[in-house]
Structure 1
């Protein structure tokens, strides 16, 4: 298996630039997830690695080979798409081995590789079936098996679970994580679902508008975001943000009843600042400055949606089954040590 190196990679469509000088190293055997909102460039970047999109500038190296201008078939990658793209008239075994057959591999070798992929993906009981008789999760496993038999240096997944229902997505996340552990291959996975990113990745690349916002391990991004965008995107429910004003080293937040916080040492000069705090660090407290709008009781966890006097929405995560009725006055509380501070204009983290 091999790692991947992107150096100053740029993509333009005519005069419109959509990928802006990406520099990224993905080490051999890592599971890397590209995550971000729709239109951020994550699928475009993946397709550039696959050779399905031309790279305007920069270089792409796989296993130390410059593959920037190489044909897709010569790059040593295999791609699993959102759609299964299976041949309906072929059996599962024929679908998995079709690429090798077209490349002239001996029948015995094809059968051996298909059998090994089938063992890994637990498809032995389905090899003689046609795709129409399979569930969505089983079809996606066949598509992954088709990639495995090729023995690629890098596996590429383009939102492979988007067409599955919630229960199957959880099941397939477990399957893909197990697959990575068993075969140890380098994998790059594209998703807009940060839960998938957090649960699968060794390394997450957060993209916005064709730029990398931050790269790191899942919990590093969660606990130490570089900016407001990453802080709000990583974590579910999303971080709460409040507008504040710094004056003389004290930040006042009107949405929190005029609460005051000491400004971070890195903040120079008076002016607007954004205060962030995660829902699991906020609690309901005595008071009447806020109002409970709705409570979602999910059993082991509850989410309380609270309105401040200025209309701001606050999400509070609680691990009990008690919930105040809608319209109940309340206060909220949190430890300032759990708060994050961001420059309102640049959105950069103030540490």
Structure 2
């Protein structure tokens, strides 16, 4: 297997630039996830690696080969799409081996590779079935099996689980993680679901408007985001953001009626900043400053949705069972060490 290197990769469509000078290295055998909101350019960037979109500027390397302008068939990649794209009139085994058949591989070689892919994906009992007799998760496994059979250097996944229901998405996440461990291939995976990104990735690439906001290990991005966008996108429920103002060596969090003492480099007194707090870092206590809007009691965890006196919407995560009725008034507290600070442009204050 081999890695992927992007250097100053740019994509223009007419006068519109949709990918802005992306630099990225995906190491050999790494599971890299592109994540971001709809329209951020993650699928476009993946398709550029696959050769399905032209590269306006920059270079794309797979291993030691410059494939920037190479035909998709010459890049050594295999792509799994959001739609299964299976041929309905042929069997699972025939679907999986179709690509090799079209390139003239010997029948015995095709059967061997199909059998090995079926073993990895636990598809052996389904090889004689046609796609209409399969569940959604089984069809997606067949699509992945078709990619495995080709023996690519790099696997590319474009939101492969978005058409599945919640239970099947969890099941398929486990399957894909196990597949990566078993075959050790380089994989690049696109999703808008940050839970998928956190659970699957060795490395996450957070994209916004065609630019990379931050690259890192999942927990590094969660614990140490570079900016407000990454802090809000990584983590579920999302981070709470509270308006603040700089005082002498501290920040007053208006929505919590509290002060955050910090060693971070702060702008001048009176400057507006933002205080970020994860839902699990807020504590419900005595007082009547915040109004309860809704309590999601899920058994082992509860989410309490609140409105601050300043009108900001906040979420508190509790690992117990609480039942606070809408309209109840409560106070909130937190530890200053848990707060993150961001300037007016969203940059992290450290």
Shift of residue 250 of structure 1? Answer: 2.8
Q: Give the structure-1-normalised TM-score.
A: 0.98
1:194 matched to which residue of 2? Answer: 194
2:59 is the alignment partner of 1:51: no
1 CA distance for matches of 2:170 and 2:80?
18
Q: Secondary structure at the match of 1:189?
A: strand
Shift of residue 291 of structure 1? Answer: 1.1
Shift of residue 263 of structure 1? Answer: 4.6
- Note if contact 2:246-2:267 (Cα within 8 Å) is conserved in structure 1: no
1:350 matched to which residue of 2? Answer: 349
Shift of residue 238 of structure 1? Answer: 0.2
2 CA distance for matches of 1:111 and 1:197?
34
Taking the TM superposition and a 5 Å limit, the aligned residue runs for 1:312-351 are 312-344=312-344, 346-351=345-350
2:161 matched to which residue of 1? Answer: 161
Taking the TM superposition and a 5 Å limit, the aligned residue runs for 1:228-239 are 228-239=228-239
1 CA distance for matches of 2:14 and 2:294?
48
Shift of residue 264 of structure 1? Answer: 4.1
Shift of residue 317 of structure 1? Answer: 0.3
- Note if contact 2:256-2:333 (Cα within 8 Å) is conserved in structure 1: no
2 CA distance for matches of 1:252 and 1:216?
31
- Note if contact 1:177-1:200 (Cα within 8 Å) is conserved in structure 2: yes
Q: Secondary structure at the match of 1:199?
A: helix
Shift of residue 248 of structure 1? Answer: 2.6
2:260 matched to which residue of 1? Answer: 261
Q: Secondary structure at the match of 2:300?
A: coil
User: Could you give the per-residue CA deviations for residues 85-143 of structure 1, whole angstroms, max 9, x where no partner exists?
Assistant: 00000100000000000000000000000000000000000000000010000000000
- Note if contact 1:264-1:341 (Cα within 8 Å) is conserved in structure 2: no
User: Could you give the per-residue CA deviations for residues 131-171 of structure 1, whole angstroms, max 9, x where no partner exists?
Assistant: 00100000000000000000000000000000000000000
2 CA distance for matches of 1:132 and 1:82?
17
- Note if contact 1:155-1:186 (Cα within 8 Å) is conserved in structure 2: yes
- Alignment root-mean-square deviation, CA: 0.8
Q: Secondary structure at the match of 1:29?
A: coil
2 CA distance for matches of 1:127 and 1:263?
61
2 CA distance for matches of 1:280 and 1:191?
25
Stretches of 4+ moved more than 3 A in 1?
A: none
Q: Secondary structure at the match of 1:321?
A: coil
- Note if contact 1:6-1:59 (Cα within 8 Å) is conserved in structure 2: yes
2:129 matched to which residue of 1? Answer: 129
- Note if contact 1:264-1:350 (Cα within 8 Å) is conserved in structure 2: no
Shift of residue 325 of structure 1? Answer: 1.4
2:65 matched to which residue of 1? Answer: 65
Shift of residue 309 of structure 1? Answer: 1.3
2:82 matched to which residue of 1? Answer: 82
1 CA distance for matches of 2:41 and 2:207?
7
Q: Structure 2, unaligned stretches of length 5 or more?
A: none
2 CA distance for matches of 1:95 and 1:40?
33
2 CA distance for matches of 1:263 and 1:248?
10
- Note if contact 1:246-1:263 (Cα within 8 Å) is conserved in structure 2: no
1:272 matched to which residue of 2? Answer: 272
2 CA distance for matches of 1:312 and 1:264?
26
Q: Secondary structure at the match of 2:274?
A: strand
Q: Secondary structure at the match of 2:84?
A: coil
User: Could you give the per-residue CA deviations for residues 322-347 of structure 1, whole angstroms, max 9, x where no partner exists?
Assistant: 22211111001110100000002x21
Q: Give the structure-2-normalised TM-score.
A: 0.99
2 CA distance for matches of 1:30 and 1:276?
31
Out of 213-222 and 302-311, give the one that drifted further: 302-311
Q: Structure 1, unaligned stretches of length 5 or more?
A: none
2:174 matched to which residue of 1? Answer: 174
2 CA distance for matches of 1:329 and 1:140?
48
Out of 307-316 and 26-35, give the one that drifted further: 307-316
